[in-house]
Structure 1
């Protein structure tokens, strides 16, 4: 489903050139749960951003469903990203001035989707993460675990085929982290492809395949 061939990424400033990733070859199959592991600064988040089309490689090829993306324009990539991927971040990235239901609806604003349909899909997503009773609350009225569940609902509201999670349990205690993992595993079992960056070996093993990154390269 997602294929990276000989992908490298370099970040350049006025004085320093940093090679973040080098010669990455990775194939994520439809329905897989892949965990990306490695020490801090090794390139895990950069790899996730490339998979999710948030960034472009300096060298190499990225293909989604057989379509190579190197020559696509930004507008085309944004449209594909909105349809294909849902993003879950460690810091939740919820908008505190918006109710939970409005936060979850946000990705649908970029689609031709009626207000009624947005509401229906958002309510359905919140029900899946067990937060139907909280839809009119604001993020700062929720616990950290509840906020992350809202973030998962927002990520899945557009029914993406791929969920990308960057340390989704990193700011949570063990119990709340386990609840979030249970949701991700359930979505995976239902057919959603999940790619997760994590430092937690136990959680990584729950997901299935583990991909390890060290100094910008994949290692066995």
Structure 2
């Protein structure tokens, strides 16, 4: 499904050069649930961003569906990212001035879909995460766990093949965190590939495989 070969990433400023990742070889199979773990600053989020084509490797190759991503400059990459990946972030990244259903519908605006179909898909995604009755609410009217479920609905509304989650339970209490993990596990059972960055060992062990990162490299 996704393959990284000898991928490295270095961030440079005028005075500092930081090697974030070095010689990463990683294969994520279709319908797999992979947890990425490691200490803060080890390169976990950078790795997730590279997998989701949000960032560009300094060297090495990334292939999605068997096809190498040859150029990061054209609209093809944006289309591939929009059609293949759904993203969940620790801080939700919801727009407070938009209703819940409008937040969920946002990724569909980049597709050539009629407005009624976009609304129907957003409604179905919200019902899937148990928030069908909250569609007309605004994010600041919801609890943290509910906001993260809205973020999950937004991530899955376009029916992505791969769901990328960066610390999805990091800002939640244990009960809300369990609810979010239950949703991710259900999506995995339904065939979605899930890649999750987490510091939570318990959450990580719910995945089918744990990948550990230390000082920018994969470790056993």
TM-score by length of 2: 0.99
What residue is the counterpart of 1:114 in the other structure?
Answer: 114
Deviation at 1:72, TM superposition (A): 4.8
Question: 1:62 & 1:49 partners in 2: Cα distance?
Answer: 12
Give the C-alpha shift of residue 207 in structure 1: 1.2
Which residue does 1:158 correspond to in 2? 158
RMSD over aligned CA atoms reads 0.6
Match of residue 83 from structure 1:
83
Q: Which runs of 4+ in 1 moved over 6 A?
A: none
User: Quick check: 1:93 aligned with 2:100?
Assistant: no
Task: State the 1:208 CA deviation.
Answer: 1.4
Per-residue CA deviations over 1:96-137 (Å, capped at 9, x if unaligned) read 000000000000000001100000100000000000000000
CA distance in 2, matches of 1:143, 1:158: 24
- By how many angstroms is 1:74 displaced? 3.2
Give unmatched runs, 5+ long, in structure 2: none
Corresponding position of 2:61 = 61
Equivalent in the alignment of 2:46: 46
Question: How many residue pairs are counted as aligned between the two chains?
Answer: 220
Q: TM-score, normalised by structure 1?
A: 0.99
Output one character per residue of 1:128-148: Cα deviation in whole Å (capped at 9) or x when no partner: 000000000000000000000
Gaps of 5+ in 1: none
Distance 1:74 1:217 in 2: 29
Q: Is the 8 A contact 2:56 2:72 kept in 1?
A: no
**Structure 1 counterpart of 2:215:** 215
**What are the within-5 Å matches in structure 2 for residues 8-27 of structure 1?**
8-27=8-27
Q: Partners of 2:74 and 2:54 in 1: how far apart?
A: 10
